[in-house]
Every structure is written in C-alpha cells, then in structure tokens.
A = this chain, B = another copy of it.
Amino acid sequence: MSKIDKKQAILDTALTLFVSQGFYATSTASIAKTAGVATGTLFHHFASKNELMNYLFLNIKQELATEIQSKSSNKGELQLDAEHLWNVAIDWAIANPLKQEFFQQYSMSPSIAAEIRQQAMTGILSFMGELITHGQKTGILANYPLSLMLEGCHGQYLAATRYFLDHPDKWQDVTHKQASFSMFWNAMKT
C-alpha cells in the first residue's frame, strides 16, 4: 500500500466510522486498525484526531462544491439554472449517501470547530449568495435578508436529502425531485 493509499484509507475509514458510530465513539485506534495501518501512521498524516475531522469535512464540502460548479448550467434563465443546480446537488447526495449522512450529522455539531464550519459554509455557498443577489436585483427572488435566505437554502437542502436518504425508493421518481425543488424555489421567489 502506497503512502497516498494509506492516507486515503484512513480518510475513507474515518468517514465510515464517524457516520456509523459518531466522532467521539470512534477511537483513532479503531480507525487505524480498520484502515489496516498502525496507530502511529494516522498521526503521521494528521496532527490530531480533530485535524483529521476538519480535513475530512472540508474535503467533502469541496467535493460537493466542485461537483456543482463543474456541472452548472448558465442558460441565462435563473429558475432553470437553479433547478439544474438543485438536481446536481441532490444527485450528488443520492450518489454519496455516506457523505450526505456525514453532513447531516456534523453540519451543526460541536465536533467540528465553528470556524471550520463557517469556512466551509461560506466557501460552498458563496456562489449561492451571488445567485440569490442576482435574482433579487432582477426581481425574480424576494427581497428577504440574504443570510436568512442562505440559511433557508441550507436547511432545505439538508431536509430534502434527509428525505431521499430515508426513502431510497423515491430517488428515481422525478416527481419527488421536482417537488423538492418547488419547495426550495417557491420559498425564495417573488
């Protein structure tokens, strides 16, 4: 197993165990053992258990952000672009249930330092902010306070993905995906 393989094995194992057992119930020893490396090896790659968690959190947030931005459409019509974005984000969640569950559990958890969460949130939602501001200027979106709308977006996304995680049979059903987008969109539109 190469160096990079070991680091990745640690990250993969940590994700799985943090989600299934929780951060505090997962010992670094169990991560190392499950990943097939020695306890000391974990600490060569990550200075501490907290740093491993932070790295993992930012890593996954970045993965979602990259996915969304790489697949974003720009047809000029806000609602269509937003619907495309929403579908990409929901599809990612469905394709990565472990990572989505990780967000559900740790987005608000004190296991991750507030500053790290803030950093991730503003990073990933920066283009959301721009999109909303643009929509307000053109009169398509309601003139509610920006941070209220951002909180609303985040909440709607967590709620929708929670629904799809709890009802995996509904993934294929385009009706439900549209329903979730309607709730998201109607909440914000003029």
Contacts and interface: CB of A to CB of B under 8 A. Distances in A.
Contacts of A147: 163, 166-167
Q: Is the interface on chain A under 10, 10 to 19, 20 to 34, or 35 or more residues?
A: 35 or more
> Chain A interface mostly helix, strand, loop or mixed?
helix
A152 B184 CA distance: 9
A155 B104 CA distance: 11
Contact of A179 (B144, B159, B176, B189): B144
B156 A152 contact: yes
Interface of A: 21-25, 104-105, 107-111, 142, 144-145, 147-149, 151-152, 154-156, 158-160, 162-163, 166-167, 170, 176, 179-180, 182-184, 186-189
B162 A151 contact: yes
Contacts of A107: 108
A110 B17 CA distance: 12
B151 A160 contact: yes
